[in-house]
Structure 1
Amino acid sequence: MSENQNLLAEQRRALILDEVRRRGGVRVNELTRKLGVSDMTVRRDLDALARQGVLEKVHGGAVPVAEASTHEPGFEAKSGLELSAKEDIARTAATLVAPGTAIALSGGTTTYALAHHLLDVPDLTVVTNSVRVADVFHSAQRSSGQRQGAATVVLTGGVRTPSDSLVGPVADQAIGALHFDVLFLGVHGISAEAGLSTPNLAEAETNRRLVQSARRVVVVADHTKWGTVGLSSFATLGQVDTLVTDAGLPAQARAEISEHLHRLLVAGAPETNDAEDGGDPDGSGNAGNPADF
């Protein structure tokens, strides 16, 4: 029995999607051999991924979806993708948060995962334009009561996007009057040429305000975001202090990214070296003390 038969559906579908994107298309019989599962299981996985809009089924297999630069998938569509990678990223990014600091969390499914790891960090002030992120803190406080040291959450106003972020002039004005110690920023796409980008013009402007109001900018993005370019760029890689990504990011991309920003943290990769993580003294790939970045 192949060990891949024991993979969870989520993990198996992430492997399938990576294979489709890497090769530009795969056949069902290739996936059955690679994953050690039945033809029917692969077809069900392809059906599920096609419903999420992340690949297109063709006769005998699947190909990537050619997305327009203006295409903006909704929160639910994105929330089922790269779950293990996002969890690794969130766990690592959370170690960068010191008690008693003022942080900002942008919209996105990775910042949503990060919010769950911050519930026990005392005395935080959390500014967010994400309805989902705010709900994480509010739900925790409702279930456990208003305990000492619970986070103070500031939810900006604005117009709601498909990704459940609040954007536009109201959000921009609120953010522009604030100052955060650290911004944790989810992105639609990241590349050396286009920097950080999004398909939503209003969200791009709100993200610019978030970047301008932060002392430190930490981007949390899984490896599939590298090379993706949305309609509007809102920051260069030079404006990013730290990128937290996952072990799926190819070595060539790691080297290219490291040329442009201060620190690269690869979550779930203990072999990360000093050149990649910006000086992690023990080479563990862990974030370490927040003062280090």
Structure 2
Amino acid sequence: MIGYVKMDKRESIFKLVTDERILILIVGIAILWRCVLSSDETISFWECVCSGITLFIMGWLLFAYMYSTSRKQTDWPVTTKIYQGIAASLLVLNIYVVIYYGMRWFRLLHEEVYIPLDFVFCDIRYLMFLLCYCSVLWTARYLKAMRDKYRLLIKEEPKSHAMSMKESVLWVTMHERTLTVIVIAAILWRVAISLDHTITFRESAISCVILLLLGWFLFGYVCALSVKARRKIELTRVIQGIAAGLMAINIYAIFYYGMSWYVLILGMGDVSGTYVPFDLLFRDIRYIMLVIFYCTAIVLSKFLDKAYTDYTVPINKSANLND
């Protein structure tokens, strides 16, 4: 009896924190919070600490939930992979947040874009990451429904068929080995351009194009998948939530490079593109972590596609079929 009460309490809390109205309220409070902080165009140490703790709590609790749930038994195996994919993506973002706020709190990071405009970029980053976490939180509600309410009816692997040129290119692009090569290439690229402690406009443009290609290609693929999977309501909602999180990170990347180029074009700040070591190190870390995030999200999208192709039935219906 006590076990059922605890379970009901957990379910109630879960439904509460994943409710759309609560998530909208959280985002609204975050916007007001950042507006108040930035009213004097400065962000104090304690204000930075409060913002960091908020993201820490959301990010690591979400990661813990996704990872722990992925270890539970389910009748639809691909949902376990989806949980693992989301957990891996969250882990990358969480590590990035830890590195950023750690460098901020220990005063190792001096300038990100241009000191008089850094407070604007801090607001954008905070809101976009919070929006990403809220999107994942909203997704968790429907992903749980997929795991609990459906089962895979046919467990045999479907017979392979000849892939078209488009399918072949997509398969190669999204293969794990290709993604590994992309991550290694990104690391080598950042090491090469950072040796002289200077990043030129051309080098910045190349880095930006690579991120935009990865981010918006993935966003477009996920959106197209949500259209194909519209008959599976819960799966569609999961895909839409992940797409919203991707869009938030993509907007963050666009704002960063947009503001950097704006400063460079107008000749504000250090137009030579020369940075102190820790500032340059953080730029390299940010770029590499974003590339890794996109690559893990690409792997996640493959699991979503697998869920779309799986033939499933409600658990109560499958029980009747077995009878």
Q: Name the TM tier (shorter chain).
A: under 0.3
| Structure possessing the higher radius of gyration over alpha carbons | 2
TM-score (norm 2): 0.25
